[in-house]
């Protein structure tokens, strides 16, 4: 069970790094290539079969039975588990993406190849009955998962924007509802980062790098999360693989901090890395 969870965490972190680069380009002297290395180092994700049949298990004798989108959503909702709420969100979001692009970039990223014609036909059949109500419900599923701390959900909650409207951060920044959403999004990410959920750590690091629609720049916060990632990747990268979070690439950020701020950031990073080792059973260096 732990191995499955770790794979999901690593993939979520890789996706978070890619999303962060898309929304928050690195300042001059930054290291976009180095973050891409971290994404490329993530382990393979779920199998194709589990992807196309997620939480839609049927008895072995009925393995040929096609389980509809409605049936899958009903089964997921009936469990009451936040992990299944997250699966429901992803199921619906995949359908939305597939109907728009005729492919699933996230799946292709995990597989390392394009979808076959058979895989596309199966996805098209699954998503053919997608309704507007289901489209609207997906954000509720995501909110449930993020509130419960499902790995990766807090990062996607942020990327969706207030109530699914990313433009609201720019067009309605003083709206009390938007302000409340921002507080919720950051609080969820912070709670998950403190628990060493890597996609949240990476997302907060990039978010605090500069003034933006979500937060004001906070270099000490950003550097603390960066140090956490450095320590974690020191543990999980294969020997000889360059750690993309070392100061060779990020010295410009360290230089913005006072010695006291650097010490506080180091303590923050060490605490998160210790939590990661606790979750994974990995020993620390030294």
Domain-ending residue, one of 150, 166, 198: 150
Predicted confidence at residue 141, as pLDDT, reads 97
Residue 207's CB is within 10 A of a number of other CB atoms, namely: 24
Residue 252 lies in a domain: yes
**43 with 54: CB under 8 angstroms?**
no
What is the value of pTM for the model shown? 0.77
pLDDT at 254: 92
| Domain assignment of residue 12, yes or no | no
Query: Residue 199 domain-assigned?
Result: yes
pLDDT at 146: 97
pLDDT, tens digit, 9 for 90 and up, residues 223-252? 999 999 999 999 999 988 999 999 888 999
Domain presence at residue 106: yes
Residues 118 and 209 in one domain: no
Looking at the structure, do residues 78 and 134 belong to the same domain, yes or no? yes
Q: Please give the average per-residue pLDDT across 157-167, as a whole number.
A: 95
Do 229 and 278 reside in the same domain of the chain?
yes
* Overall residue count recorded for the chain in this entry: 286
User: What is the predicted pLDDT for the residue at 281?
Assistant: 81
Quick check: 89 pLDDT over 70?
A: yes
Tell whether 241 is covered by a domain: yes
What is the distance of C-alpha 109 from the center of its chain?
14
In this predicted structure, what is the pLDDT of residue 285? 55
The answer to whether the beta carbons of residues 55 and 75 sit under 8 Å apart is yes
Q: Give phi and psi for 282, each to the nearest 5.
A: -85, 140
Does 37 have pLDDT greater than 50?
no
Q: Is 173 helix (H, G, I), strand (E, B) or coil?
A: coil
239: in domain: yes
Between 254 and 9, name the one with better pLDDT.
254
Q: What is the reported pLDDT for 167?
A: 95
Taking only the tens place, the pLDDT of each residue in 92-142 is 999 999 999 999 998 898 889 999 999 999 999 999 989 999 999 999 999
Residues 134 and 83 in one domain: yes
Q: Quick one: average pLDDT of 264-285? A: 88
- pLDDT, average across residues 67-80: 93
| High-pLDDT (> 90) share of the chain, % | 69
Counting the structural domains of the chain, the total is 2
Tell me which long-range contacts 206-210 makes (C-beta under 8 A, separation of at least 24): 206/17, 206/20, 206/21, 206/23, 206/24, 207/20, 207/24, 207/158, 209/24, 209/26, 209/27, 209/253, 210/24, 210/27
Let me know whether 194 and 107 are in one domain: no
- Report pLDDT digits (tens) over 177-236: 999 999 999 999 999 999 999 999 999 999 999 999 999 999 999 999 999 999 999 999
Query: By mean pLDDT, which of 58-67, 72-81, 186-195, 248-257 is the weakest?
Result: 58-67
Q: What integer pLDDT is reported at residue 64 of this predicted model?
A: 56
Give the pLDDT band of residue 67 (cuts 50, 70, 90). Answer: confident
Do residues 134 and 195 both lie within one domain?
no
Query: What pLDDT score does 106 carry?
Result: 87
What is the torsional sign of CA 172, 93, 43, 275? positive
What crossing angle do the helices spanning 82-101 and 117-127 adopt, rounded to 10°? 110
Same domain, 274 and 187: yes
Mean pLDDT taken over the chain: 82
Shared-domain flag, residues 225 and 132: no
The closest alpha carbon to 254, from 30, 78, 1, belongs to 30
Give a yes or no: residue 257 inside a domain: yes
Buried b (16+ CB within 10 A) or exposed e, 117-153: eebeebbeebbeebeeebeebbbebbbbbbbeebbbb
229 in any annotated domain:
yes
Among 135, 150, 165, the domain boundary falls at: 150
Residue 75 structural domain: 66-150
């Amino acid at each position: 069970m732990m191995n499955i969870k770790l794979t999901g965490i690593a993939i979520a972190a890789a996706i978070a790094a890619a999303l962060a680069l898309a929304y928050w380009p690195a300042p001059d002297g930054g290291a976009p290539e180095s973050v891409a290395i971290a994404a490329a180092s993530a382990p393979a994700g779920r199998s194709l079969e589990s992807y196309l049949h997620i939480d839609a298990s049927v008895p072995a004798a009925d393995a040929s039975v096609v389980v509809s989108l409605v049936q899958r959503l009903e089964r997921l909702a009936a469990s009451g588990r936040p992990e299944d709420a997250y699966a429901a969100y992803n199921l619906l979001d995949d359908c939305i993406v597939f109907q728009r692009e005729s492919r699933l970039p996230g799946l292709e990223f995990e597989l390392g190849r394009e979808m076959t014609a058979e895989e596309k036909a199966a996805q098209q059949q699954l998503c053919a009955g997608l309704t507007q109500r289901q489209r609207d419900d997906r954000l509720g599923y995501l909110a449930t998962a993020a509130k419960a701390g499902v790995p990766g959900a807090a990062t996607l909650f942020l990327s969706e924007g207030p109530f699914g409207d990313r433009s609201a951060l720019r067009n309605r920044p003083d709206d009390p509802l938007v302000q409340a959403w921002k507080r919720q999004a950051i609080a969820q990410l912070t709670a998950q980062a403190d628990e060493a959920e890597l996609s949240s750590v990476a997302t907060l690091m990039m978010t605090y790098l500069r003034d933006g629609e979500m937060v004001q720049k906070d270099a000490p916060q950003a550097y603390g999360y960066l140090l956490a990632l450095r320590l974690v990747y020191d543990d999980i990268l294969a020997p000889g693989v360059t750690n993309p979070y070392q100061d060779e690439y990020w010295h410009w950020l360290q230089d913005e901090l006072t010695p006291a701020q650097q010490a506080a950031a180091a303590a923050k990073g060490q605490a998160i890395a210790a939590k990661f080792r606790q979750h994974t059973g990995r020993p620390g260096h030294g």
